[in-house]
Amino acid sequence: MPETYEFLNHALTLGFDVAWRRRAAALAAEAGGRRWADMCTGTGETAVYLRRLAPEATNVYAVDFSLPMMEVARRKPAADRIEFVEADVKVLPFDDGSLDAVTMSFATRNLNLSEELLVRTFAEFHRVLRPGGLFVNLETSRPPNPVVRKCFHAYVKLLVEPLGTRVSGSRAAYAYLASTIPRFHGAEELAGIMRAAGFDDVTYRRLLLGVAAIHRGVRR
Ligand SMILES: C[S@@+](CC[C@H](N)C(=O)[O-])C[C@H]1O[C@@H](n2cnc3c(N)ncnc32)[C@H](O)[C@@H]1O
């Protein structure tokens, strides 16, 4: 499954995920500073984009609790300049206020759908950011237009789930994806969850008619 994960992401998003990850990394890089971290890094794609944008002296951390996923990330050319951290992002091994930027892509649904538990995890990200630090989150979203929403959810059910299952061999992973996408929070709801976790100046941008969104929040 880690071996087919990236191929399926690119195929099922028609390659859009690449531009979205780059945009998320570029937004986070605006924080400047010397310590950036990509949470739930998986195979490390967003961490690599962060690394490319980072000045030489900036440390880029890639955090995940799945060693097989991080094993794929470790094979990437930029990996020798990324510090991999095996940890649960709900209890981060970073000091208060010690990071300048935090990114997370396509993992919010994996953490939990419950608003209360998401607030707790985002509050953990808030804790490790310095005042002025940035949190940038990229995730699938709920298109505001009901016709687009219906088409998107049909696409997920009729194509993403069967194709993902067939190529990856993991029915559970792609059934989970297909069942959580329609239930996940809309962009404004997710902004509210970030605010409840302590983030200020929360803004978001809907992507491709709202099938995904990038949120940005500041720790004041
Ligand atoms: C769908 S993948 C996303 C990977 C990557 N961020 C991307 O954009 O492709 C979700 C990742 O989150 C990781 N994950 C889920 N819950 C986690 C947690 N509590 N702590 C650390 N990693 C977690 C999984 O191991 C997996 O690698």
Residue 137 lies in a domain: yes
Domain that holds residue 39: 2-141+184-218
What local confidence, expressed as pLDDT, does residue 161 receive? 92
Residue 111 Cβ contacting ligand 1 at under 6 Å: yes
Residue 150 lies in a domain: no
Residue 162 lies in a domain: no
Residue range 62-86: mean pLDDT, rounded:
97
Closest Cα to residue 27, out of 142, 138, 107?
A: 138
Residue 172 lies in a domain: no
| CATH code, domain carrying 137 | 3.40.50.150
Flag whether pLDDT at 1 surpasses 80.
no
Residue 149 lies in a domain: no
Number of domains in the chain: 1
What local confidence, expressed as pLDDT, does residue 55 receive? 97
Rounded to 10°, the helix 2-12/67-74 angle is: 70
Residue 161 Cβ contacting ligand 1 at under 6 Å: no
Residue 146 lies in a domain: no
Flag whether pLDDT at 5 surpasses 90.
no
Cα–ligand 1 centroid distance for 105 (angstroms): 8
DSSP string covering 155-175, please? HIIIIIHHHHHHHHS-HHHHH
What local confidence, expressed as pLDDT, does residue 29 receive? 98
Residue range 72-85: mean pLDDT, rounded:
97
Residue 67 lies in a domain: yes
Residue 87 lies in a domain: yes
Q: Which of 40, 65, 74 has most ligand 1 atoms within 8 Å of CB, for mutation?
A: 40
Flag whether pLDDT at 145 surpasses 80.
yes
What local confidence, expressed as pLDDT, does residue 112 receive? 83
